[in-house]
Structure 1
């Protein structure tokens, strides 16, 4: 798979569907501690930075996990099933995202990015015109520091 392609799917697949459940499962610490745990998950060599290769490897791993039938394409159903915090509602307050909301989000993503009209997303369609890693690497050194990572998390937080 192309480097640019894997990088672009990183934010949606790795941060959204891999690291967030790890962070949510811990249930401990404040925002900074949770970000540090997520960062640690992506920093597979323990160097204190996330390289583009680490980012892409996790993205490819997560894409393969989400691609339940192994056809190299993601259906809205596969994406919704892999969504973080699946089905974690509690009475009296929201803890997660409902099945309907996850399905709606997946359908909108397919609608926006499905350039060939097959109702599925390829890695290339997901990545079209995006270079996520380059946007996150604000100092241009080829690696993400914890500070850059935390800054990204602040910008992409749900409100």
Structure 2
């Protein structure tokens, strides 16, 4: 689930919104096409992603920085240079680099299903390709959602420290859950 949260953050920051765009100096240099945050403890992946996107290192990610990052990652994943990502190319956006561990076997199938659902949700014209035009609305929405104070930028303190599916307390029925009272 942390993978889905990181993908969501990356896609959100990639496509930002036109309404949120503001004039900024041109980014120093786009991030490396293969730049990927390493997974670490809770929230570290999101902070690393933030640092990759914040190319001018001012502690704020504006739309222009976010869109350059998304576009760079998209173009790197578009292996056949068709202008759209197939499901396989879309999956490459989330492939782990080097020796990074993959998902636990019991989650691999679920993650594959989630990836397929996300792909179908983004493929607005149902042609089997996801384009930057199709990704942009979702990224814009996520960018606006992350910009909690409405200043047209995402600051480090606005970056979620937990994925949307991570719970603060014990999961119902989990090993730390209180016993369920008997039915009456």
| TM-score (normalizing by structure 2) | 0.59
Q: 1:114 to 1:31 in 2, by over 3 A?
A: closer
1:139 to 136, 149, 154: 149
Deviation for aligned residue 1:72: 0.8
Deviation for aligned residue 1:85: 3.2
Aligned length, in residue pairs: 139
The CA RMSD measured in Å over matched residues stands at 3.5
1-side partners of 2:132 and 2:64: how far apart? 17
Secondary structure (helix, strand or coil) at the match of 1:23 reads coil
Q: Return the index of the structure with the highest Cα Rg.
A: 2
Deviation for aligned residue 1:144: 1.1
Deviation for aligned residue 1:97: 6.2
2-side partners of 1:106 and 1:34: how far apart? 19
| Structure 2: runs of 5+ lacking an equivalent | 1-8, 16-32, 168-184
Match of 2:69 in 1: 58
Higher helix share: 1
Deviation for aligned residue 1:146: 0.7
Q: 1:35 to 1:78 in 2, by over 3 A?
A: closer
Aligned residues of 2:14 and 2:68 also touching (Cα < 8 A):
no
Deviation for aligned residue 1:34: 4.5
Match of 2:116 in 1: 107
- Cα deviation 1:73-110 (Å, max 9, x = unaligned): 011011113314378348xxx28963x55543332223
